[in-house]
Structure 1
Amino acid sequence: MIAPSSSAAELIAHLRTLRSEESISGMARFGIVTETALGISNPDLQKIARIVKRSHPRSLELWQSNIREARLLALYTAEPKRLTPDLARTWSDDFASWEIVDTAADLYVEARLEPLISEFAADDREFVRRTAFAMIASAAVHMKKEPDETLLAWLPLIELHAGDPRNFVRKAVNWALRNIGKRNPHCHAKALAVAESLAASSDRTARWIGKDAVRELTSEKVIARVERKSADR
């Protein structure tokens, strides 16, 4: 049985007992890197994380295992206040799958490491650059008390990298733009203006990002959501 006192080695041994070849095959269809995967779903890993609770030293050991599930568990159980920029950079050097990136992005935002966003965006590696925009997307949702100007200051970064045609980058850039636009009426207007500008771009990738963002940000559902937020302020 696993417990809050479980060591990294004990947790890894437990994870190995849950291996599912069928689930591994299914994950591959969603673009998840499965070379080191055991086939355990994220909800099941989150249940384990709630049992074992946070332990920063243990999360470091789990990450070193290079096992997909152990690394996700490391991200779920790391202590945000002890996560340093240098450690985030080290972990990001290992990124090779969108789901690891997106999980890490939530942790990095919780740890208030958003100063790394510009640095990650400037990095040409696909998954490190994705980290920057996944962090923006996460920050737009979770940093509720942050001034709008913090989010809007990342719009030029979105415009700068909107021409990156790599699948996992362009989707994250699009995601970041849409999430800023759904934050509130002020952010909606600014993000929509950027989306409309990109939609008119001669660059195919930027045009796709812009058109897709315009489509969502002008939908009845999003407009109603933004108006509700305006009424609540």
Structure 2
Amino acid sequence: MALSSASTVDDIIAHLRTLASQANLAGMARFGIATDRALGIPNAVTNPIARLLKRDHTRALGLWATGIREARILAAATDEPAKVTRAQIDAMAAEFDSWEIVDHAAHLICAANLAHEIIPAYAADEREFVRRAAFSTIATAAVHLKKEPDETFLGWLGLVEAQAGDSRNFVKKAVNWALRQTGKRSHALHAPALQLAEKLAASTDKTAKWIGKDAVRELTDPKIVERLSAKA
């Protein structure tokens, strides 16, 4: 069945099942992607499908409700940001079970203009994937929210410092990602981000030290420094 912007949830799921690949599931698992509800379809295949389907809020809710990995990726990619609410994101967050789904949801959070309220709330949340969502959203915002003032990201650096000791794998990697992307966003943000990275690198806490040292390595890369200086 050929898909179109008029395709229903059932149409889409039926089509996705024809693309399922058991062979791909093992590779996904090696990257820490939850595969218990996955069909094994790579993003290189789902991305064109999302563009074909276009945006539909009601259908996106239906796709998310299936629980299927690929359907949830399509849900995040094809929802209508203007119709997305904080309550909807909170309900989604309660079901986060994979870093990959979290990172797709971060794009929707940014597009829906919910980053300001969700980031501090989720950074304070003890659930691993919910906290990851806060820092994944910071990293995503640093790249995609072009009009957001640097002052916003300076404030979010405080959240990076506050949670730099969270040793859970999917949190610490997102905290590190947020720090690096913030430092690469602009010349004005580079110095404060690097300063925090150096502070964390000198920490006695093992996780904070790793986050800091890795960020220092990237933020002192001559090519990045040169690029940011050229934009100053």
Could you tell me the TM-score, scaled by structure 2's length?
Answer: 0.98
Distance 1:57 1:51 in 2: 16
Distance 2:186 2:84 in 1: 30
Correspondence for 1:109: 110
Amino acid at match of 1:146: E
* Misfit runs of 4+, over 3 Å: none
User: 1:228: how far off?
Assistant: 2.2
Distance 2:230 2:14 in 1: 48
User: 1:66: how far off?
Assistant: 0.5
User: 1:224: how far off?
Assistant: 1.4
Which of 140, 143, 146 in structure 2 is aligned with 1:141? 143
Distance 2:26 2:158 in 1: 39
Correspondence for 1:205: 207
Correspondence for 2:30: 29
Amino acid at match of 2:63: L
Correspondence for 2:121: 119
Q: 1:152-207 deviations in whole A, cap 9, x for unaligned?
A: 10011100000000010000000000011001111000101111111111101001
User: 1:75: how far off?
Assistant: 0.6
Alignment of 1:45-64 (within 5 A): 45-64=46-65
Alignment coverage as a number of residue pairs: 230
Amino acid at match of 1:120: Y
- CA RMSD between the two structures: 0.7
User: 1:142: how far off?
Assistant: 1.0
Distance 1:204 1:27 in 2: 28
Q: 1:96-136 deviations in whole A, cap 9, x for unaligned?
A: 10110001001101111111111101111110000000000
Alignment of 1:2-81 (within 5 A): 2-81=3-82
Amino acid at match of 1:58: R
- Report the 3-state secondary structure (helix = DSSP H, G, I; strand = E; otherwise coil) of the residue aligned with 2:230: helix
Amino acid at match of 1:148: D
Q: 1:5-27 deviations in whole A, cap 9, x for unaligned?
A: 00001100110111101011111
Name which of structure 1's ranges 139-148 and 162-171 shifts more when overlaid on structure 2: 139-148
Amino acid at match of 1:108: I
Could you tell me the TM-score, scaled by structure 1's length?
Answer: 0.97
| Structure 2 alignment gaps of length 5 or more | none
Which of 173, 176, 183 in structure 1 is aligned with 2:175? 173
Distance 2:22 2:228 in 1: 43
Correspondence for 2:153: 151
- Report the 3-state secondary structure (helix = DSSP H, G, I; strand = E; otherwise coil) of the residue aligned with 1:66: coil
- Report the 3-state secondary structure (helix = DSSP H, G, I; strand = E; otherwise coil) of the residue aligned with 1:153: helix
Residue 160 in structure 1 maps to residue 162 in structure 2: yes
| Structure 1 alignment gaps of length 5 or more | none
Amino acid at match of 2:18: T
Q: Percent identity at matched positions?
A: 57
Distance 1:40 1:198 in 2: 38
- Report the 3-state secondary structure (helix = DSSP H, G, I; strand = E; otherwise coil) of the residue aligned with 2:185: coil
Distance 2:230 2:143 in 1: 16
